Structure formats: C-alpha cells, structure tokens
C-alpha cells in the first residue's frame, strides 16, 4: 500500500508530516509513504501587504483541493491553524497524541550580562512580538499593561 501525504513546505509542516509518516509506518509495516510538498496561498502571501488580510483558509485550501482531487491521500496541517469551516468532502482527524502545549517566552538579551530576560522582568508597558490572538489574550490576562506587535 502507498500513501501520499500533502503538506506545506515549512519546517514545522514537514516535521509534522514526518511524524505522521513514522506513526503510519509503525502501525502498518511495509506501507510506503510519500510526502508531497505543497505551496498554499498563505505561503505565497507571506511578506506581502496581502498577508495582513489573510485568513486561516489561505493555509489549507490547496491541501483540501489535493485531497478531494486525489493528488494526495491525506494532508497534514497544524490543528490550531485550521478554520472552523472546511471543505465538506474532507474530515478533520487527529492522528497523533498531543505533545506539550506549553508556549515559550524568549526574552531579549540583557546588554550587560548577555542573559535573556525572563517574562517577569519585562518592563511596564513592555513590547511583545506575537501574532497569535490566543497568546496575546493569555499574556494580557497576566499583564494588561503589555503592548504587542
């Protein structure tokens, strides 16, 4: 049996697809799995003014088309980036056990010591680089003074 997994070319997508491939091979010895790298509208919009007007759908539409037209047998994408509405001919299925959901804070380096500052050392009205609405909400709950870019 041969399966084709469609996924975006990003490092994260490729790692996730490889994890799914390994899991499939472990439960179905002898299976052949091919990863088909794809580009989505979200990929093509990155770095352009259109990126700010993007939707989650931009990241999966081409993956859905590939599944429905038979170009791939399944597609792998982060569940957090899948919109609430997706193609009725496809199904959202979790394949892997969920890994740790903890986020990481990476503070800037202290100029004198060279050590990264911890979250609790961010100054009042400090600026945080974050595009995730979920993470912004979580941080604002802890620190309503923070600013985001």
Q: What is the pLDDT of residue 13?
A: 92
The end-to-end CA distance of the chain, in Å, is: 48
Whether the Cβ atoms of residue 5 and residue 76 lie closer than 8 Å to each other: yes
Closest C-alpha to 37, from 62, 17, 8: 8
pLDDT by 10s per residue, the chain, length 149: 899 999 999 998 999 999 999 999 999 989 999 999 999 998 888 888 877 776 878 888 999 999 999 999 999 998 777 888 888 898 888 878 877 777 788 999 988 999 999 999 999 999 999 888 888 999 999 999 999 99
E strands, 9-141, are 32-38, 74-75, 127-128
pTM: 0.68
Reported residue count of the chain is 149
- 103: alpha, beta or left? (left if phi > 0; alpha if psi -120 to 50): beta
Instruction: Please report the sign of the dihedral spanned by the C-alpha atoms of residue 8, residue 11, residue 15, residue 18.
Output: positive
């Amino acid at each position: 049996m041969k399966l084709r997994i469609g996924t975006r070319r990003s490092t994260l997508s490729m790692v996730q697809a490889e994890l799914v491939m390994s899991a499939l091979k472990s439960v179905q010895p002898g299976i052949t799995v091919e990863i088909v790298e794809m580009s989505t509208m979200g990929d093509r919009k990155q770095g352009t003014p259109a990126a700010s007007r993007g939707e989650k759908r931009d990241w999966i539409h081409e993956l859905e088309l590939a599944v429905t037209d038979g170009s791939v047998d399944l597609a792998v994408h982060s569940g957090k980036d899948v919109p609430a509405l997706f193609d009725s001919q496809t199904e959202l299925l979790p394949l892997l056990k969920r890994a740790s959901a903890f986020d990481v804070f990476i503070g800037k380096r202290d100029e004198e010591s060279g050590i990264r500052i911890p979250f609790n050392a961010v100054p009042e009205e400090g600026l945080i680089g974050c595009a995730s609405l979920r993470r912004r909400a979580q941080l604002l709950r802890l620190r309503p003074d923070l600013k985001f870019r």
